[in-house]
A and B are shown apart, each in its own frame.
Chain A
């Protein structure tokens, strides 16, 4: 019975079946593609977070513990692949005599490292010049002491004789912050700044220093074990974080006080898991509506065959079929549709993955490579059941056959319209929006060091209710326009229908529920395409701004601390081909109270030319306004919001900072006038800092030296400009093009191939818009065929028939486009507002990808027009036969 029924379906209703399968295909392919993408993004975040860590764990050995014993315990812990002892000794200062002058430095740290340290932890030491073993000196210390490989350095030690060593090489310590962390410090503690002077010595040298210092000042010598762990981690950063943290706790427990663990790997995963939740959130916000839309389209298409289905069911009933049989037949049909659509959808997503991401599974790990497709497949089956089984069973129960004519409305208003559900939903959506965009609200809460991540799922109600509310409102408005404005409607359709306009208008008015549904669907598809496109391009633009914020400018030349490069050096940089403009940027440290903060001295009138200053970086004024304030007032200063709060500052008040005088090396109090708030600034750290006038700082400290040069290349050929600058400036300054920042700094979310995601989403959005445009015409096909057959035998010409369909097409296109554009704009604004946390910094304006939107609009309209003309041709041919059918 079932196979006969299915065979009948395939032979008699191939069109409807294909359309339903297509709907399921789109939904499954979209879900599977986005899901696999999400999984692979998370996996890459984990890999990235793990590989960015030079030393996974730093185990601080307790003063009274035996290093060897701790080392063997650590080594035996699961997952540990290496554990090397590192000695830390405080020096009261270093000195060196070169070319007849003696340089002294302040205090510093001497590290004792085993010979295989660099090979075991390749990320820790960057070799600049000289040998790779022996005594290595940090670049900054080398420049402070004016030493090079081969020079002798004296290590002054408190309470004992200095030890002299010969420098073998100059190195950079890229992860100095975690290397010199205070292991076991509470999470809330301020990170300690790495020491200014660092010397790396072989174990034998360190043993000598330790032997000399320990007896007199044991507190100045300490030992750590640096641990490398296996990076075979679960692909989800949150899961990885938990497993690594637990392993650390286990080991600490086993060490029983003999060691505390500085969990660098955990900290890095901690940061990544926040980004990972954002990726999930993005998927939900941007992917789900598309899948739901595909589902709705599928249901609508399946429903377009309702007339025929009811007739078939009437036949079944007269043959005595039970509701159970009807349900079984419908389930068989749904399974057929779901399985075929699901299979094609998965195939499609594999192709999409291969084309866009270069691997069929989007680079996802084996488990997620299976989970997502399976989930998508099940979703496809669910859609098929919703589309096929539910209406069949419902129809069979409600035996009122006259319902079949429900398309022509003289019906009562639907319930949602009478209770104003649309307005209600929109009101709630705006309330949610207001709440979720309030200051202090955060969509994803991943408190540092806490295992659980909180996602405020409430925020989803904003866009979710907006989708539904706007859809219903569109329905209400188009219903209203179609029923209450016959004259306007007549005028609207006259260009295509000629003197048939009043008839066409009357007919459309009576078919308004059908047309409204089509308008809503088209509008939603357009809104999906539009909001996705706008959100993604805004995101990309902000990622670029973020890269510029982190790097400072297209190319940034950073002078080593302590070097005294004057601002005039800018002119030699400006001479390099490709450089448009150069801005010197002072970098100092200033004490405010007991707090040490970065201070940046700028040339307020021209800084904006070399880098992008977003209004979002500042408070109490736009970027331009605050720079103008600085330019107008020499002692003006911008401070962080936190400092304003801590010191209860009011605009115009004086704030005294203590800065080092270059001559006396003493701290001097310098008065500044607080004029505004800067929360972000190119090259500035994420925490508090000051922005002041460079000239004023130079005058008050007797020092005009520059910390960095911001080089504007107009965004062009940053790499080649950086290369020529490197050649010109040698190894003293570090030259970083923006591309490096794009890939190495910034959140791991930015580093994920969002461009690929965007392409996938936009392709699907386009497909949906076109499908909605085309498929809405399948909706009233049965009704329309009858109307056309009658009009045709009554003498209507081909042109007149075409006019009738085109009138409907125009109404759907225009109504859908207006509603779709409006909803698209509002939605993208809402998405950006609710997802602010994804953006760093938050955008001031939306970026509208005009080209893509135009292409989408054209394709969607072409789909409508094509479907309309096709349906006009279809309906014309068998007029008399159609009429006999009725």
Chain B
């Protein structure tokens, strides 16, 4: 992997849901790349395609047009929690597993023995200061706590690219700020790139790069002047 290789890059990529008269073009003609260590905030009105683009980055949704690649990750990242970690817009914890088990799940799915995965999960939860939640079931967690456990799940796997889809969407301001803190801290710890979609301007302001979507298209990609890592291209 050369130093200039992108974790993810898209060339005129688009995604259309459905076909024919029910077709919805969610993402159209997007060309972008996410470099190692990036801090990107993705904003845009509801329905503009943020989630779809993030899912394309995670390899969970295919590009129905154009091309996408994960050069620095060595190919399609699906089922490789150590490459890409996703924090979903809604609650994404399995209700019948406690916090530790939820955090360990991607690792076990990836083939790690359960005991080792559990260890790693506890460790990740501890690093985020969530020990008190370790034995709780998702139903016993608040929305913010759930999202932080979801962050711990990403941290435990140690991916190179972290994708967070409106992680603060259903939280109040304080809880939201806390989750974003934890996310940034995690990305720092892992030295991973972080892409966060959000409606919140103050949150977006904390990121070095700010991409804006409109009607499926990436309409602007601005970088803070002091951020040297921004390498977005047209």
**A residues apposed to B, CB below 8 Å:** 402, 405, 408, 410, 499-503, 506-508, 510-511, 783, 786-787, 790-791, 793-797, 800, 879-880, 883-884, 886
* Residues of A contacting B: mostly: helix
Q: Bound state CA distance, A500 and B105, in angstroms? A: 8
Which residues in chain B, 93-110, are within 8 Å of chain A measured between CB atoms?
Answer: 93-98, 101, 104-106, 108-110
B108:A506 contact, CB within 8 angstroms: no
* 11 A–B contacts, CB within 8 A, in A order: A402-B139, A410-B137, A506-B97, A507-B94, A507-B96, A508-B96, A787-B95, A791-B94, A794-B109, A880-B61, A886-B91
Contact flag A884-B51 (CB < 8 Å), given A503-B101, A510-B137: yes
Known A-B contacts: A507-B101, A795-B79. Give 7 more (CB < 8 A): A503-B101, A507-B97, A791-B105, A795-B78, A797-B79, A883-B90, A883-B92
Q: Bound state CA distance, A266 and B195, in angstroms? A: 93
Q: Bound state CA distance, A410 and B136, in angstroms? A: 11
Using Cβ atoms and an 8 Å threshold, which residues of chain A touch B88? 793, 883
Q: Bound state CA distance, A408 and B89, in angstroms? A: 23
Using Cβ atoms and an 8 Å threshold, which residues of chain A touch B221? none
Q: Bound state CA distance, A409 and B144, in angstroms? A: 23
A506:B55 contact, CB within 8 angstroms: no
A790:B96 contact, CB within 8 angstroms: no
Contact flag A884-B89 (CB < 8 Å), given A506-B101, A791-B105: yes
Interface check B86, CB cutoff 8 A = yes
B108:A499 contact, CB within 8 angstroms: yes
Listed from nearest, the 7 A-B pairs whose CB atoms lie closest are: A795-B79, A507-B96, A502-B114, A510-B96, A794-B106, A886-B90, A796-B109
Q: Bound state CA distance, A511 and B79, in angstroms? A: 26
Q: In the complex, how many residues of chain B place their beta carbon closer than 8 angstroms to a beta carbon of chain A?
A: 34
Report A812 CB to chain B, min CB distance, Å. 16
A787:B94 contact, CB within 8 angstroms: yes
Q: Bound state CA distance, A796 and B94, in angstroms? A: 13
Q: Bound state CA distance, A506 and B135, in angstroms? A: 12
Report A403 CB to chain B, min CB distance, Å. 11
Most buried by B among A511, A800, A883: A883
Using Cβ atoms and an 8 Å threshold, which residues of chain A touch B104? 503
* Residues of B contacting A: mostly: loop
CB closest residue in chain B, given A787: B94
1/0 per residue B56-82: CB within 8 Å of A? 000011000000000000000011110
Report A782 CB to chain B, min CB distance, Å. 11
CB closest residue in chain A, given B98: A506
Using Cβ atoms and an 8 Å threshold, which residues of chain A touch B45? none
CB closest residue in chain B, given A879: B60
Report B106 CB to chain A, min CB distance, Å. 5
A408:B109 contact, CB within 8 angstroms: no
B96:A500 contact, CB within 8 angstroms: no
Using Cβ atoms and an 8 Å threshold, which residues of chain B touch A511? 96
A790:B94 contact, CB within 8 angstroms: yes
Q: Bound state CA distance, A502 and B108, in angstroms? A: 10
Interface check B228, CB cutoff 8 A = no
Q: Bound state CA distance, A385 and B153, in angstroms? A: 45
Report B114 CB to chain A, min CB distance, Å. 4
A499:B96 contact, CB within 8 angstroms: no
Using Cβ atoms and an 8 Å threshold, which residues of chain B touch A793? 60, 86, 88, 92
Report B89 CB to chain A, min CB distance, Å. 7
Report B73 CB to chain A, min CB distance, Å. 14
Q: Bound state CA distance, A791 and B107, in angstroms? A: 11
B114:A880 contact, CB within 8 angstroms: no
Using Cβ atoms and an 8 Å threshold, which residues of chain B touch A790? 92-94
A794:B105 contact, CB within 8 angstroms: yes
Report A602 CB to chain B, min CB distance, Å. 70
Using Cβ atoms and an 8 Å threshold, which residues of chain B touch A879? 60
B60:A500 contact, CB within 8 angstroms: no
Interface check B126, CB cutoff 8 A = no
Contact flag A786-B80 (CB < 8 Å), given A500-B109, A794-B106: no
Q: Bound state CA distance, A880 and B105, in angstroms? A: 18
Q: Bound state CA distance, A879 and B105, in angstroms? A: 16
Report A651 CB to chain B, min CB distance, Å. 68
Report A491 CB to chain B, min CB distance, Å. 13
Using Cβ atoms and an 8 Å threshold, which residues of chain B touch A506? 96-98, 101
CB closest residue in chain B, given A780: B96
B108:A405 contact, CB within 8 angstroms: no
